[in-house]
Structure 1
Amino acid sequence: MTDDAEQPAEWLTLPDIAERLDLGISQVHQKLRDNELIAVRRDGVLRVPAELVAGDTVLKHLPGILTLLRDAGYNDEEAIRWLFTPDESLPGTPAVALSGHQATEVKRRAQALGF
């Protein structure tokens, strides 16, 4: 893993996520436990990269990607770093590519990390 990862453009707190997804805060915590969403502590507060939420939903392929990264031994910080490391063969970073037509390619690459 390289150290040239970018930081997400915007971080959302869990209450922000609850509001955006129209969920209760306990449901957001359940999404974190179920690996449907990822959060890391920034300034002592759990935060989610805004790029991983499209409008009022979590990016479609994110839960699968998170499962693959965890299966490959990545912790949450490492997974965020991987998602936000620029890749010249993708439109920016894997996180950006997840919201477009290259989501399957990102999934393939995450899957290869386990081997």
Structure 2
Amino acid sequence: MSDLSSPAAPDLDELVPAWLAWSEVAAELGVTPAKVRTMVRDHELAAAVPASGGGPHVPAGFLQDGLVVKGLPGLLTLLHDNGFDDRECIAWIYTDADLPGRPIDALRENRGSEVKRRAQALA
């Protein structure tokens, strides 16, 4: 897992339009903040420090209708298997220009198979 205590690069904060603190993620998912920490550790979610001096946050776009976006955990596992840390995963999910739109948009629109194919091609 990435070092969540290091300050975020300004570009990551610019890429992700909205962030949620772990307590906010926990409330949205109906779990405890400790469970959110476990979900990040197990690559069900990814977290980073979006602004200098802040704590770790999860991109708000990773949640939809009170659930983790379908396909996100599998995509995060693929990216981690390719050597990405959480910060790199978040950046890839919000910037990959090889798809029509960002991977996060495709996941949220239930077009995860094309995103996974692109992630598999990274190997």
- Structure-1-length-normalised TM-score: 0.87
Q: Which runs of 4+ in 1 moved over 4 A?
A: none
Q: C-alpha distance in 2, partners of 1:79/1:54?
A: 18
Unaligned runs of 5+ in 1: none
Distance 1:14 1:67 in 2: 20
Give the 3-state SS of the residue equivalent to 1:74 in structure 2: coil
Q: State yes or no: 1:102 paired with 2:122.
A: no
- Alignment counterpart, residue 36 of structure 1, candidates 35, 44, 55: 44
Match 2:56 to one of 36, 46, 59? 46
* Partner Cα separation in structure 2 for residue 42 and residue 112 of structure 1: 28
Q: Residue 13 of structure 1 is aligned with which of 16, 21, 28?
A: 21
Displacement of 1:88 in angstroms is 6.2
SS in 2 for 1:98: helix
- Report the alpha carbon displacement of residue 86 of structure 1 after superposing the two structures with TM: 4.9
After superposition, the Cα gap between the structure-2 partners of 1:73 and 1:88, relative to the gap in structure 1 and judged at 3 Å, is closer
The secondary structure found in structure 2 opposite 1:23 is coil
Unaligned runs of 5+ in 2: 1-10
TM-aligned CA deviation for residue 22 of structure 1:
0.7
Q: Which whole-Å CA distance do the structure 2 matches of 1:101 and 1:75 have between them? A: 24
TM-score, with length taken from structure 2: 0.82
Percent of aligned positions that are identical: 41
Is the contact made by 2:43 and 2:77 (CA closer than 8 Å) also made in structure 1?
yes
More strand by share: 1
**Partner secondary structure for residue 12 of structure 1:** strand
Map Cα deviations across residues 47-72 of structure 1 (whole Å, 9 max, x no partner): 11111111210011001100110111
Is structure 2 residue 43 aligned with structure 1 residue 27? no
RMSD of aligned Cα (Å): 1.7
Partner of 1:77: 87
